[in-house]
Structure 1
Amino acid sequence: MNPMDLSAAELAARVRSGEMTPAQVGGAARARVAERNPALNAMTVLNPALEDEAADVAARLAAGEDLPLAGVPVVIKDNIWVRGLPVTQGSRLFADFVAPEDAQAVLRLRAAGAMILGIATCSEFACKGVTNTPLQGKTRNPVDPGLTTGGSSGGPVAAVAAGMAPLALGTDAGGSSRRPPAHTGLYGFKPTQDLVPYGPGFEEPVDGISVICPISRTLEDIALAMSVLCDLPPGTPIPGPYAWSADFGLGQRLDADVAAAFDTFVRCLETQRFGMTEAAPEWQGLNGGSVMALQHAGLARLFGAAWQEDPSVFDPDLAVQIETGLGLEDASVADAKSASARMGAILNGFLDRFGLVVVPTTPCPAWPVDQLAPQEIGGQPCAPRDHAAFTPQANHAGCPALTIPFARTHAGLPIGLQIIAARGRDADLLATARTITAAMAPKEHERAT
């Protein structure tokens, strides 16, 4: 078996036992990238020091160190600092930037024996729902290269889904490490705000909502990564009843296959005697658009001067956001800040009542790679951000959210299920996800009916 087809937990166990060496694993990872990356454009750079890192892990194991991620290749999103590697945020402005130090999360991966395979693509400044930049080009979906991975963590999910590495780090300020995993059949976990250290690194357009997220092919690997990133202990399943909502109280339409799969999921859990209650927060008119002015204003603050000097440097879609931000009045930004606080308070209050809520991760599967957004959802024309309707709320509430692969459309495209829990209940959320996935009938979560 190719080592890259193993989970991170299985791979680390074989390296610790001596069945495989870190050098063998590193070689397999490089070969898999050479084989599959040209068709997908997931990786921006391979780590030239990978062999040295493999030798270091081997020496540490020989010295008796206990390394939970021994020899596991990890891919890092192109906005998280990795010392000595080019990290560009997908932007021509940072085309020559080399990270001066590791982000704390990267240091913790290294301390656990992980090897940094390289850097994976992201949309410019991680502020776009597809991974397509003038600097790095288009990243394609391994399930169907004619489709997008979504964004902004498109490169990390493409690399993991294509078997280039079993584990990746992404970031998430509005769903960027939940929606792309949903589009590629992966797990993506957004932790409680500040549970995993974020810097040192680039300044964020919006403070206090972005988190570093593990992305993997198994739930076990998510838990393993979280134990390394923040010493997260095993949790206890959250008792029911569980709230569920097909539209998260937003009136958002779903594609027919998504709606059918979600209905099947709810019926499956009801059959398994899970307490399921249809309920959703009362958003008081708030949605993802209510807070977008914060991103636009933040981009204008960080890059407005460079845009005014030369707009052609930027991704045209980001240039529109920057220009919009420059035109915002203070009152509009203040309104968006108020909306953020209210959105977070509403969701946190709801989770105080129910413990967790289950919703689709996205209302639709992946769409053509040349499009910024799907043209239709549920058979009707949709707005550009409708595909992201269900994810930003958890960021503004600061609470944990997990996407799990639970179904496929009739065309074979992955669909994600999102489970959101109260702040600080990250371990319990992962434990609950285990019970939910174990209870799902073997075939009911594979294909929409």
Structure 2
Amino acid sequence: MSALDLTSRDLAAAVRRGDITPAAIVAETLARAAERNPAINAICHMNPDFEAEADRVTQRLSAGENLPLAGVPMLIKDNIWVKGLRVSQGSRLFADHIAPEDAESVRRLRNAGAMILGIATCSEFGCKGATNSPHHGITRNPIDLTLGPGGSSGGSVAAVAAGIVPLALGTDAGGSSRRPPAHTGLCGMKPTYDLIPYGPSFPEPVWGISVICPIARNMGDIALAMEVMAGVHATAPDTLSIAASPDFGTGQVVEPDVARNFSEAMQAIGQAGITVQSAQIDWGGIKGHDILPLQFTGLANAYGHVWRDTPDIFDPMIAKQIETGLSLTGVDVAAAHQTSYRMRSVLRGALDRYGIIATPTTPCPAWPAELSAPETIAGQPAGPRDHAAFTPQVNHAGVPALSLPCGVDGNGLPLGLQLIAPAGQDGALIGAAQLLESLLKDIA
């Protein structure tokens, strides 16, 4: 078995024992990136200091340091600062931006012995549910190169799914590190808001909802990353109850295979002796698109002046969002803030009643890479955010959630199960997910 096929925890343990050197891992990682990245376009900037990072890890181990991520190669999403590297938010506007310092999450990973291979592609400003942009082009899904991995953390998930690195960082302001893992057979976790410091970083289009997220092949590596970045440890549940919601109370149609998959997952969990009940969630007429004015006006505030002079510099979809944001009124923004608050109240109330809530991560599998969203879901015309119907509520509530691999559809495409927990219950959520992970392996 290749070292890169080990879990991050096992790889770091092998390095600490001296079974493999950081330099050997660097050589193997560079070879895999050269072989596999051209087909998927997951890495937009390589770290020229990567080999030197191996030397530093070796020196620190020789000095007796205990490094939980010793020699683990990682990629960082293109909107998270990595000191000295080109970080552009997927935008031609920031094509020459060099990060002046590490984001706190990156600093903590490096302190734990992680080695940064480079920067992973994302959609422009992280504001599109697919990973394609005029700046970096199209990122493709390793499961099927005709499809995309979703977005906006598509580069991070594509690289992990392709086996280039075992662990990566993404961000999540509406599901960007849960939906892409669901489309690629990975695990992705959105922590409680502000549990992991977000910056130093670029200005966010919508303050108060975006978080730093680990992406990995298994929950053990998610747990390790959360230990390092947040000091959170998984707690095994004494008893576990899951509240199931096939459409999260939204009325969103889902592909028949997604509905079947979710039902089978709940049956498997129940047959394992875990209590499964039905979750009744009443959003009071709230629709997912009701909060979009916050993103549109946030982009307009940050980049509207540039759009007026050079609209062609932006991804056309982002340019449209900026243009829309400039046309909205203060009343529109106030209404969107009220909707955000109501989302928070409804979901937190439901979590107080039920504990952990389960939904499909997405209502559909991955779609063609050239498209920003699927054209249909369950045979019905799909809106631009229908594929994201079950995730942004979590961000506005500030609570933790994650996506677990949950079998495949009839075409062999990966599907995901989303688990949502009350605020601050990240360790309990990870523990529950680790328990369920093995139960879901046999879902068709």
Q: Counterpart in 2 of 1:10?
A: 10
Contact kept in structure 2, 1:238 and 1:429, CA below 8 Å: no
Q: Counterpart in 2 of 1:31?
A: 31
Q: Counterpart in 2 of 1:243?
A: 243
Contact kept in structure 2, 1:238 and 1:355, CA below 8 Å: no
Q: Which moved more, 1:5-14 or 1:431-440?
A: 431-440
Contact kept in structure 2, 1:362 and 1:416, CA below 8 Å: yes
Unaligned runs of at least 5 residues, structure 2: none
Q: Counterpart in 2 of 1:90?
A: 90
Post-superposition Cα deviations, 1:314-351, rounded to whole Å, max 9, x if no partner, equal 00000000000000011010000010011011100110
Q: Distance in 2 between matches of 1:234 and 1:268?
A: 23
SS at 1:423's partner residue? coil
Q: Which moved more, 1:269-278 or 1:144-153?
A: 269-278
Identity %: 56
Contact kept in structure 2, 1:270 and 1:276, CA below 8 Å: yes
SS at 1:116's partner residue? strand
Q: Counterpart in 1 of 2:151?
A: 151
SS at 2:147's partner residue? strand
Q: Distance in 1 between matches of 2:4 and 2:288?
A: 37
Matched, 1:22 2:33: no
Q: Distance in 2 between matches of 1:97 and 1:280?
A: 47
Q: Which amino acid aligns with 2:220?
A: E
Q: Counterpart in 1 of 2:322?
A: 322
Matched, 1:269 2:240: no
SS at 1:215's partner residue? strand
SS at 1:26's partner residue? helix
Q: Distance in 1 between matches of 2:240 and 2:163?
A: 36
Distance 1:238 1:287, change over 3 A: farther
The offset of 1:240, in angstroms, is 4.0
Q: Distance in 1 between matches of 2:233 and 2:372?
A: 39
Contact kept in structure 1, 2:219 and 2:437, CA below 8 Å: no
Q: Counterpart in 1 of 2:80?
A: 80
How does 1:260-339 map onto structure 2 within 5 Å?
260-339=260-339
SS at 1:228's partner residue? helix
Post-superposition Cα deviations, 1:28-75, rounded to whole Å, max 9, x if no partner, equal 111000000001000011111011110000011011110000000010
SS at 2:384's partner residue? coil
Q: Which moved more, 1:430-439 or 1:369-378?
A: 430-439
Q: Distance in 2 between matches of 1:280 and 1:45?
A: 45
Contact kept in structure 2, 1:242 and 1:275, CA below 8 Å: yes
Post-superposition Cα deviations, 1:177-201, rounded to whole Å, max 9, x if no partner, equal 0001110110000000000011001
The size of the alignment, in residue pairs, is 444
Post-superposition Cα deviations, 1:276-320, rounded to whole Å, max 9, x if no partner, equal 111132101113211000000000000000000010000000000
SS at 1:145's partner residue? coil
Contact kept in structure 2, 1:238 and 1:432, CA below 8 Å: no
The offset of 1:79, in angstroms, is 0.3
Q: Counterpart in 2 of 1:381?
A: 381
Distance 1:293 1:126, change over 3 A: same
The offset of 1:238, in angstroms, is 7.0
Q: Distance in 1 between matches of 2:323 and 2:55?
A: 49
Contact kept in structure 1, 2:123 and 2:152, CA below 8 Å: yes
SS at 2:146's partner residue? strand
Matched, 1:202 2:202: yes
Post-superposition Cα deviations, 1:332-383, rounded to whole Å, max 9, x if no partner, equal 1000001001101110011011111000000000000111111111121111
Q: Distance in 2 between matches of 1:103 and 1:70?
A: 19
SS at 1:147's partner residue? coil
Post-superposition Cα deviations, 1:114-139, rounded to whole Å, max 9, x if no partner, equal 00010000000000010111110000
Q: Counterpart in 1 of 2:413?
A: 413
Q: Which amino acid aligns with 2:269?
A: L
Contact kept in structure 2, 1:142 and 1:184, CA below 8 Å: yes
Contact kept in structure 2, 1:241 and 1:275, CA below 8 Å: yes
Q: Distance in 1 between matches of 2:273 and 2:215?
A: 30
Q: Which amino acid aligns with 2:418?
A: Q
Q: Counterpart in 1 of 2:124?
A: 124
Q: TM-score, length-normalised on structure 1?
A: 0.98
Q: Distance in 1 between matches of 2:256 and 2:401?
A: 24
Contact kept in structure 1, 2:178 and 2:190, CA below 8 Å: yes
SS at 1:102's partner residue? coil
